[in-house]
């Protein structure tokens, strides 16, 4: 199995800082904005960003966890049903600006399912998508991200691996060849 | 793995502890879904389910139907009292006719023990047993165990007394299997005529004295006296039964702790449970009903998902 490092922990930190700055540029003091992390792997990023943003704008920005498993379009089309994770959206998103946060944008199908799942909590004024890694040329749906940490050109046979250590301090992101 | 070991849910006896834990984990997520402003997910959009009830039911049938609708499945209902079964059609013929209409899953209640097992051998559809005679009622046992787990945050070591008509109760049998698999301690309590012989061989304690059972347990799952299944007299009168095995306020107050009360419904108020016990804060009877929908959603989701 060949592995190539895309982002090391220091570069990741810089990238996340930049994404936060971009959000502040567009959302100002976050008065009408909420963050939704996509389960399972968008959560760590969403939490880290919330921590930074809270300090920058001096406010407790609402953060929800959204699981799109029950809205996926591949149910009964794969061998076994996908395992669901917790959804926790303790606020209404009616007329709010929503920033969906995920680690990797690949086919776009998870994001489509997430948009569907999100509607159960109200009709937002605007929805944006933020991803750490955008795998270019792999989209199966007309979906693109508004904020991107890093563009990566990948083959379908490759996989992007987000590695976290227990203390959640030293994240690394790898591009892995499946064999 | 996020797949059940069986393509059907016929009983608790033939599923594993891992299956039950997977169902509970999935049900946790569905419980969140049914508490949203919009209580519906599109998962079973292309699945058709037939609810085939050869015996009367309000709660179980309503609960299944709600669960199916919350999952966006298409539902057809069939009840024996208004159907060709009255004209002498066999079970297999009835169900084959329903299947010819392209049904993917069948939820069945039947008065005969083993009827869903028979179907599962002959029919290509997922079968869910919603009660077969005096044998098993797996989804009830799952929702009971799920409700205990919710209250105590665990099942390992929780002491559960099942009280009343054990002999005629499919709820009791399924509960014993489920709780044993999950590591809870189980006791059955009732008049000797309503306790099956050799019940202790299932690994449960047997107690004839209600007071002692209540002193021992953390949870009392009180069963209904099933007069419709009793061809002979098992006890002299309902009044006498209620005197020895009915749970009432003074009795609960005389205990040193708060026993959690459960009942699969429908309650014979004043017989096995008085109103001031059934409606008290110790009772989780209505939680059981709410959890029933979430647990049934989980079962159908997992069975339908493993189809391909």
CATH topology match: B17-136+289-305 vs B138-288: yes
Sole residue written with tokens 């009772």? B283
Residue of B nearest to A73 (CA): B43
Task: Please give the backbone phi and psi of residue A99, each rounded to the nearest 5 degrees, phi first.
Answer: -110, 110
The domain spans of chain B are 17-136+289-305, 138-288
Per-residue pLDDT of chain A (179 residues; tens, 9 = 90+): 678 888 888 888 899 999 999 999 999 888 999 999 998 889 989 999 999 999 999 999 999 999 999 998 888 877 777 788 888 988 889 999 999 999 999 999 999 999 999 988 889 999 999 999 999 888 999 999 999 999 988 887 888 887 766 566 667 888 887 76
Residues 6+ apart with CB under 8 A from B72: B40, B41, B42, B43, B44, B45
The domains located in chain A, with CATH, are 3-72+84-177 (3.40.50.2020)
Chain A contact set for B306 (CB, 8 A): 79-81
Q: Global pTM?
A: 0.88
Half-sphere exposure (Cβ direction) of B204: Cα atoms closer than 13 Å: 30
A87 to chain B, any CB pair closer than 8 A? The answer is yes
Interchain pair A71, B308: CB under 8 A: no
ipTM of the complex: 0.77
Which residues of chain B lie closer than 8 angstroms to A116, CB-CB?
42
The values of phi and psi at residue A117, to 5°, are -65, -35
Name the residue with tokens 């890093």.
Answer: A150
Whether A69 contacts B71, CB under 8 Å: no
pLDDT in tens, B149-169: 999 999 999 999 999 999 999
Do B306 and A70 count as a contact with CB atoms less than 8 A apart? no
Q: Is B18 left (phi over 0), alpha (psi -120 to 50) or beta?
A: alpha
Q: What is the pLDDT of residue A131?
A: 94
Does any CB of chain B come closer than 8 Å to the CB of residue A75? yes
Residues B50 and B98: their CA atoms lie apart, in Å, by 8
Assign a CATH topology to domain B138-288: Rossmann fold (3.40.50)
Nearest CA in chain A to B71: A70
User: Cβ contact (<8 Å) for B3 and A67?
Assistant: no
Distances in whole angstroms, Cα of residue B259 to Cα of each of A95, A149, B52, B299: 46, 55, 36, 29
> For an interface test with A, which of B22, B29, B300, B301 has the most A Cβ atoms less than 10 Å from its Cβ?
B29
B17-136+289-305: CATH topology is Rossmann fold (3.40.50)
The pLDDT value recorded for residue B308 is: 47
Interchain CB distance below 8 Å, B32 and A75: no
């Amino acid at each position: 199995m060949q592995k190539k490092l895309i982002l090391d922990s220091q570069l990741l930190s810089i990238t996340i800082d930049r994404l936060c700055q971009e959000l502040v540029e567009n959302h100002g003091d976050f008065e009408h904005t909420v963050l939704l992390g996509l389960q399972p792997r968008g959560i760590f990023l969403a939490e880290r960003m919330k921590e930074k943003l809270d300090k920058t704008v001096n406010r407790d920005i609402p953060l929800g966890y959204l699981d799109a498993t029950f809205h996926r379009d591949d149910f009964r089309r794969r061998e076994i049903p996908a395992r669901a994770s917790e959804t926790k959206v303790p606020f209404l998103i009616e007329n709010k600006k929503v920033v969906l946060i995920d680690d990797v944008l690949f086919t776009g199908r998870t994001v489509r399912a997430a948009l569907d799942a999100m509607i159960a909590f109200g009709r937002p004024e605007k929805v944006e998508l933020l991803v750490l890694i955008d795998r270019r040329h792999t989209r199966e749906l007309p979906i693109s991200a508004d904020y991107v940490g890093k563009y990566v050109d990948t083959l379908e046979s490759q996989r992007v691996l987000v590695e976290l250590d227990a203390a959640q301090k030293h994240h690394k992101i790898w591009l892995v060849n499946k064999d | 793995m996020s797949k059940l070991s069986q393509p059907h849910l016929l009983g608790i006896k033939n599923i594993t502890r891992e299956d039950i834990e997977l169902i509970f984990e999935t049900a946790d997520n569905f419980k969140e879904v049914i508490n949203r402003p919009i209580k519906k997910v599109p998962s079973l959009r292309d699945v058709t389910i037939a609810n085939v009830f050869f015996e009367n039911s309000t709660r179980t049938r309503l609960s299944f139907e709600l669960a199916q609708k919350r999952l966006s499945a298409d539902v057809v209902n069939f009840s024996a009292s208004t159907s060709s079964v009255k004209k002498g059609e066999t079970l297999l013929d009835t169900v084959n006719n329903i299947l010819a209409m392209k049904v993917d899953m069948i939820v069945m209640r039947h008065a005969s023990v083993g009827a869903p097992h028979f179907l599962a051998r002959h029919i290509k559809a997922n079968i869910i047993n919603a009660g077969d005679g005096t044998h098993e009622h797996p989804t009830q046992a799952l929702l009971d165990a799920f409700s205990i787990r919710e209250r105590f945050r665990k099942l390992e070591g929780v002491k559960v007394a099942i009280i009343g008509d054990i002999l005629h109760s499919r709820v009791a049998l399924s509960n014993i299997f489920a709780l044993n698999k999950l590591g809870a301690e189980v006791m059955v309590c009732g008049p000797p005529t309503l306790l099956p012989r050799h019940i202790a061989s299932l690994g449960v304690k047997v107690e004839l004295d209600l007071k002692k059972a209540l002193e021992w347990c953390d949870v009392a799952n009180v069963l209904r006296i099933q007069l419709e299944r009793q061809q002979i007299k098992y006890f002299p009168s309902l009044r006498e039964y209620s005197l020895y095995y009915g749970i009432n306020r003074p009795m609960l107050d005389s205990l040193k702790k708060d026993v959690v009360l459960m009942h699969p419904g429908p309650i014979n108020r004043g017989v096995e449970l008085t109103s001031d016990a059934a409606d008290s804060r110790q009772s989780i009877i209505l939680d059981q009903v709410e959890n029933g929908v979430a647990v049934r959603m989980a079962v159908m989701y997992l069975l339908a998902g493993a189809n391909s």
